[in-house]
Amino acid sequence: MGKKPLVLIAAAALLGAFWWMSRRGPVVEVETRPVERGVVEEIVANTRAGTVKAKSRAKLSPQIGALVVALPHRKGETVAAGELLLKLDDKVQRAQLELATRELAAARSRAEEACAAAELAARELARGQALAQEGIISPQNLDLLASRREQSQAACVAARALVEQAQANLKLAQAQLALTELRAPFAGVLAEVATEVGEWITPAPPGVPIPPVLDLLDPSSLYVSAPVDELDVGRVRLGQAVRITVDPRPGVVFRGEVSKLAAYIQDLAEQNRTAEVEVSFAPGQDLSGVLPGASADVEILVSRKEGALRIPTSAVGEGGKVLVLEEGKLAARTIRPGIANWQFTEVLEGLALGEEVVVSRDRPEIAPGARARKKP
């Protein structure tokens, strides 16, 4: 055999090797995770759309206009139920109370006098009736005694009515004096004090809202109000466990439970229909720094499975499609998923324990049939 056929054979072999290598393609590095067993939770999530609120919260203002003369507590202080929060000038109300007290005393004296006269007239009539039986007193004088008794009894009744009226006036004066003090309706913390000693407070006229001067809240009554998408409402039940995070306490996860679920869907926006859910904090947790008005993120635990066969949710494509790295190539599989959340998806069928699944398919070369190796 000559040299020329040998050269042709070698060239053909090189071309064949080049074609074979080009058919195999480059080796793609992929990020994988093994199929494992662990906990999988099904959750209904709400990201920073929740708001911390307080069930016991009162925005307080006096019912009358007057000058502020005392503010025993300042913003941020803790107060007990019934404790004085604000005192108004009460000179006029105390003068009215003094006047009402004296009028009541005078009314009682007049009533005692009138009723004593009535008792005397009754005794005189009794004596006159005895004398009339003996013929000592005339019928005309007896009628006069009877008339005097009736008049004195009427005067006694009228005097007692004036006493009751004076007592009512005294209660009114006491109530008006009480309006000069603003006391805590429950134990809590002063979240806001919007006035100072020496300022004049004017109550809100009908139909014209005026901001309150005090804001009192009970930190132990905190809860989270959060909208849940209408598609998830059917999976939410009272008493379900909840994980809560709030912006003022980053990195801290609070425990809670669903305490209330709205009976209707809000349709404030056509593409944003939600139902309001209330979540209460579990007792015994340190809620310092958790303030009403803060943004909150809630995760409602719908179901939980221990020891489930699971893979990262990022590995699951549309229709349950996944890519598996086996013998240096990527192979397509279809799984039957179980419960899932943003982190893990339960695998009911389609994968075996320990198989490596691709968790990121952000490049076109990551496709079934491609040569691949696991990223170090």
pTM: 0.63
| Cα(183)–Cα(277) distance, integer angstroms | 33
What pLDDT does residue 52 have? Answer: 93
User: pLDDT tens-digit profile of 110-141?
Assistant: 999 989 988 988 888 888 788 878 778 788 88
For the chain, count helices (H), then strands (E).
3, 23
User: 285 and 250, same structural domain?
Assistant: yes
Please give the tally of structural domains in the chain: 4
**Residues 153 and 164 reside in one and the same domain:** yes
| Residue 68 tokens, joined | 């502020």
Which tens digits make up the pLDDT trace of 158-206? 999 999 999 999 999 999 999 999 999 999 999 899 999 999 988 767 7
Q: Where are the beta strands (DSSP E) in 130-203?
A: 181-183, 188-193, 200-201
CATH of the domain at 340: 2.40.420.20
Domain contains 243: yes
259 and 156 inside one domain: no
Q: Tell me if 4 is assigned to some domain.
A: no
Q: Which of 277, 305, 333 is the last residue of a domain?
A: 305
CATH code of residue 289: 2.40.30.170
Same domain, 67 and 209: yes
How far apart, in Å, are the Cα atoms of 118 and each of 11, 110, 127, 142, 166?
146, 12, 14, 16, 21
Angle CA 60–61–66, to nearest 5? 155
How confident is the model over 97-106, as a mean pLDDT?
96
Residue 264 lies in a domain: yes
Query: 288: domain range?
Result: 45-55+222-305
pLDDT in tens, 151-170: 989 999 999 999 999 999 99
> Three-class SS of residue 83?
coil
Question: CA-to-CA distance for 356 and 348, rounded, in angstroms?
Answer: 16
Complete DSSP assignment for 327-363: TTEEEEEE-EEEEE-SSEEEEEES--TT-EEE----S
Q: What percent of the chain has pLDDT over 70?
A: 90
Q: Are residues 319 and 337 in the same domain?
A: yes
pLDDT tens for residues 290-324?
888 899 999 999 999 999 999 999 999 999 999 99
Residues 251 and 277 occupy one common structural domain: yes
C-alpha to C-alpha distance for 359 and 376, rounded to whole angstroms: 14
Model confidence at 108: pLDDT above 70: yes
Among 285, 305, 325, the domain-final residue is 305
* Residue 2 belongs to a domain: no
What does the chain come to in residues? 376
